[in-house]
Amino acid sequence: MDRLRDKPPAPARTDSRRKPEPRKKRVERAARDLASGELDGEDARFGGSCIRLELESDQAQAPHRGDSRGRSGKRRTQGAQDSRVTDLPSRMAAKQSQSARVADAESEQDAVVADLRSRMAGIEDKPVAPRQNRSEAAEADFVERDESSRGRRTGSTRRSGAKAAEREERRQRKAAEVARDPEAHAKDICLTLLTARPRTRSELYKALLRNEISPEVAERVLGRLDEVGLIDDKAFAEMWVRSRHTYQGMGRKALSVELRRRGVDNDTVAEAVAAVDEESEEERAGQLVRKKLPSMRSADEQTKIRRLVGMLARKGYSQGLAYRVVRNELANFGEETDLLDTFE
């Protein structure tokens, strides 16, 4: 460590140890000095002689730079060097013109920036027009929308007026047909209704009056249809009772109400309902209760009784029959109850 401390520092590198400047740069620098006119007299002659000596040394060393180049390579090297030397003044002039163009472009850019700044200053100094009041704008918009909606309302009014005129025209045409041959028109109405399903004399009479057929014409047409067998209240009542009791499970009381509502007289109603005796009515009520019970397993006893009795009452079964059937069906279902013991 002591020897390292006592060792003198290494001497600094001097300019004599620098790498010599390449020949190419020396020639170009000499030619540039000659072209710029900075050398005159003895210096110019010395520079020219240096250039010639450099070129001659290149020519002398050219054959020793490789066999692959040969004479053609020597000629190319010499021509390139000569062209570089002779083109130095033109290249310097091109650089000067390029710097002049750059200066012109910078001046144009400065002018454009100055123009933009002046314009911005003019815009800032220009007074701004006051904004439109919001209430005025809203009022103008409301007026425009009101006019457009008025136009739509006018169009819808025209369409509704056209429909009303069309309905009035149909009514007048129908009235003209009825006035021309009212009996034929009434007959067509009755036949159309009878095609859908059998109807009573009262139903057809009400339908004719709704179609503006006079009562006298309606009686004549219905009498003629009754003569040919197209209207038969007795057959209608029997068919109605049989269908409604079998498929809908209706009781005798509900069947009587439905027939009277359709205009069948009391004697015909009683005769038609008598076809359903008490035993068949009770059997049909039991079928309804048995069909309903499986869907009521989660309900309590009182709820079951209330729902089953209410269902039978709505279908026209008497109260005593409903309680008796419900009690028997609950016992058969395995749910005997004491709530219905007081009812017969």
pLDDT, tens only, 98-118: 888 888 888 888 887 787 777
- Residue with the two structure tokens 């002049």: 100
Q: Which of 136-150, 173-187, 224-238, 262-276 has the lowest mean pLDDT?
A: 136-150
Question: Residues 298, 303, 309, 311: is their CA dihedral positive or negative?
Answer: negative
Q: Which residue has better confidence, 158 or 316?
A: 316
**Mean predicted lDDT score pLDDT of the chain:** 76
* Cβ-proximal residues to 215 (8 Å cutoff; 6+ apart), any chain: 209
* Cβ-proximal residues to 343 (8 Å cutoff; 6+ apart), any chain: 319, 320, 323, 324, 327
- Residue with the two structure tokens 């179609």: 211
Q: Alpha-carbon distance 27 to 54, whole Å? A: 7
User: What is the rounded average pLDDT of the residues 120-146?
Assistant: 59
Decide if pLDDT at 134 tops 60.
no
| pLDDT score, position 271 | 94
Residue % of the chain over a pLDDT of 90: 31
Q: Which residue has better confidence, 326 or 1?
A: 326
pLDDT bracket for residue 171 (50, 70, 90)? confident
* Cβ-proximal residues to 276 (8 Å cutoff; 6+ apart), any chain: 241, 245, 252, 255
Q: Alpha-carbon distance 146 to 138, whole Å? A: 12
CB atoms inside a 10 Å sphere around CB 55 = 16
Q: Which residue has better confidence, 224 or 83?
A: 224
First to last CA, the chain: 134
Q: Which residue has better confidence, 287 or 164?
A: 287
Cα distances (Å, whole numbers) of residue 243 to 177, 232, 272, 340: 39, 17, 12, 32
Decide if pLDDT at 72 tops 50.
no
Decide if pLDDT at 292 tops 50.
yes
Q: Which of 112-121, 186-195, 222-231, 288-297 has the lowest mean pLDDT?
A: 112-121
Decide if pLDDT at 95 tops 90.
no
pLDDT bracket for residue 166 (50, 70, 90)? confident
pLDDT tens digits along 25-71: 766 676 676 666 555 555 555 555 555 655 556 555 555 444 444 44
Cα distances (Å, whole numbers) of residue 250 to 154, 255, 285: 55, 7, 9
